[in-house]
Amino acid sequence: MQHDGSNSRAGERTVLAVTILGSSMAFIDGTVVNVALPALQNALHASISDVQWVVESYALMLAALLLVGGSLGDIFGRRKIYVIGVSVFAAASAWCGLAQNIDMLILARSVQGLGAALLVPGSLALITAYFPEEKRGHAIGTWSGFSAITAAIGPIIGGWLIEHSTWRWVFFLNLPLALAVVLLSVKVPESRNEQASHRLDWLGALLVTLGLGSVTYALIEWPTRTHHDVALIDAAAVLGVMALAAFLAVEHWSPAPMVSLKLFCSRNFAGANLLTLFLYAALGGLMFFFPMDLIQIQHYTATQAGAAFLPFVAIMFGLSRWAGGLVARYGSRLPLTVGPLVAACGFVLFAIAPQNGSYWTAFFPAVVVMGFGMTISVAPLTTTVMNAIPESESGLGSGVNNAVSRLASLLAVAILGVVLVMVFNRSLDRQLSRLSVSASVRAQVDANRSLLAAIHSADPMVQDAIARSFLSGYRTVIWIAAGLAALSAMLAWLIIRRKDLAMKCADGSASRP
């Protein structure tokens, strides 16, 4: 590793401030935007597929280009790429806040995801580069703690701004943080990995972006398709599958792959990432649809909805150190089985929560149980991933696991959105038939079906039917999330071993590390 200047030129507090403020932008954006979705849906007259794209366009670029962003930092300088990422993220945030229509917002969000792909890998890379090994653990712990705090207060501040001003301030919040990062970064010495390959897997990045984008498009647009769209949606699905298959082939044969498939020869590494896919898909689905239920059905204010997950963050923050020691005490298999099972119980509580009760009796128990389950799971999951591969490949292994967690949320919003729309439409048809509504009212509802719970009707019975139909779809989605969490526990029990059986890809033989 080469430093353009000594570590003494950048104090530890400066490096921590730069990494905490920068990563906080991405953390806040990942939570507060979900709270803003109902408000911007009403303001921009957006359908449910439009709202999904607001989240998915960002997640798509981040998941597809995360590993490329990490490689760019190693090659061209971690500080340089980090600052570029922060700058792109800030410019795109301003664009989001100024967007005049939903299409412009979606495009701006994709650029924001590109900035995040350069920003997110850089924060920990900068800490690793500037802190000696004996201080690194404390520095990362400080970074994690403050990042958790910002992730907790971000939705509350954003919710208050939505309630008292406009949803646009959710994006403008990033601008002062970005300015502080850029100004402070001049005091951070540059670093890079002189041994890093200068060959970037641009073909792999293109294929995975095309593949995930096409599949996501097909999933989001399928529920609202017309006979004119069927051929296009089918073509997108086929193109996506072919691109993803080509991506795997390229990664297998590439001399400098974006994702080294050899890592998956480790049973624990493959199992932990499969567990990550299902568990984070469950969490991502809940985080997307839960604020809609609170705001559009339960009539919570945006501030109240933003504060609803505070107990979850508090539990993660307070017990993460304890959870980190579970692998040393019990091995990986037990906490990775128990944690997702407890989280599954939390999802069940969300599914059966009474919809007219107070927060403390209806949703607080669900948030606490799920938070405890995720706390038991997350630290052991990360430890299992890192212990399953050689230390020389720890950065790549961590990046792959991070990308899988982002991919899980991307797919969850798309696939569970299909389920919710299908159940909503079926339930609404059934209830409207029972009500025997007039043809004009039926036509008005049918014309706005894509808005889901945001449909407004002057007839209170029709409005109640809309709310009941959304709840039917929402609860179906949460039950599926509970099933995914339980499946994660089963996979951990069946696949994870105390001592990993790492397969040698070259000859297929097994050995104990």
Q: Please give the share of the chain, as a percent, with pLDDT higher than 70.
A: 90
**How many whole angstroms separate alpha carbon 142 and alpha carbon 20?**
9
Q: Tens digit of pLDDT for each residue in 419-460? A: 999 999 999 999 998 888 888 888 889 888 888 888 888 889
| Beta-bridge partners for 503 | 510
Residue 193 — pLDDT band, cuts 50, 70, 90?
Answer: low
Q: Regarding predicted confidence, which is higher, 230 or 371?
A: 371
φ, ψ dihedrals at 198, nearest 5°:
-85, 5
Helices (H), 333-393: 333-352, 359-362, 364-387
Q: In the numeric block, which tokens belong to residue 122? A: 């850089």
* Three-state secondary-structure class, residue 244: helix
Report CA dihedral (146, 152, 158, 162) to the nearest 10 degrees: -170
What number of CA atoms fall less than 13 Å from residue 142's CA on the CB side? 17
pLDDT-wise least confident of 53-67, 125-139, 148-162, 247-261: 125-139
Q: Please give the share of the chain, as a percent, with pLDDT higher than 90.
A: 42
> How much is the mean pLDDT over the chain?
85
Burial class of 180 by CB neighbour count within 10 A (0 to 12, 13 to 18, 19+): middle
pLDDT at residue 271 above 60? yes
pLDDT at residue 336 above 80? yes
User: What mean pLDDT is predicted for residues 304-332?
Assistant: 85
pLDDT at residue 508 above 70? no
pLDDT of residue 4: 44
Q: In the numeric block, which tokens belong to residue 62? A: 């981040």
pLDDT at residue 108 above 80? yes
Residue 511 — pLDDT band, cuts 50, 70, 90?
Answer: very low
pLDDT of residue 352: 95
pLDDT of residue 279: 96
1-191 carries CATH number 3.40.50.300? no
Residue 86 — pLDDT band, cuts 50, 70, 90?
Answer: very high
Tell me the pTM. 0.86
pLDDT of residue 73: 82
User: What mean pLDDT is predicted for residues 209-224?
Assistant: 88
User: What mean pLDDT is predicted for residues 286-300?
Assistant: 93
Residue 104 — pLDDT band, cuts 50, 70, 90?
Answer: very high
User: What mean pLDDT is predicted for residues 71-81?
Assistant: 85
CATH number for the domain whose boundaries are 265-513: 1.20.1250.20
pLDDT of residue 488: 96
Quick count: other Cβ atoms within 10 Å of Cβ 220?
Answer: 23
pLDDT at residue 91 above 70? yes
pLDDT at residue 283 above 90? yes
**How many whole angstroms separate alpha carbon 449 and alpha carbon 98?**
27
133-164 and 12-44 are packed helices; what angle lies between their axes, rounded to 10 degrees? Answer: 30
Burial 404-422 (b: 16+ CB within 10 A, else e): bbbbbbbbbbbbbbbbbbe
Task: Give the 3-state secondary structure percentages of the chain, helix then strand then coil, rounded to 5.
Answer: 80, 0, 15
pLDDT-wise least confident of 67-81, 322-336, 375-389, 489-503: 489-503
Q: Tens digit of pLDDT for each residue in 438-448? A: 888 888 898 88
**How many whole angstroms separate alpha carbon 482 and alpha carbon 395?**
31
Quick count: other Cβ atoms within 10 Å of Cβ 443?
Answer: 11
**How many whole angstroms separate alpha carbon 81 and alpha carbon 233?**
36
Examine domains 1-191 and 265-513 and report if their fold is the same.
Answer: yes
Angle at CA 403, nearest 5°, toward 397 and 405? 105
Residue 450 amino acid letter: S
**How many whole angstroms separate alpha carbon 429 and alpha carbon 141?**
52
Q: Where are the domains of the chain?
A: 1-191, 201-255, 265-513
Q: In the numeric block, which tokens belong to residue 261? A: 């498939």
Q: In the numeric block, which tokens belong to residue 303? A: 């501030």
* Three-state secondary-structure class, residue 354: coil
* Three-state secondary-structure class, residue 155: helix
**How many whole angstroms separate alpha carbon 406 and alpha carbon 207?**
17
**How many whole angstroms separate alpha carbon 453 and alpha carbon 472?**
11
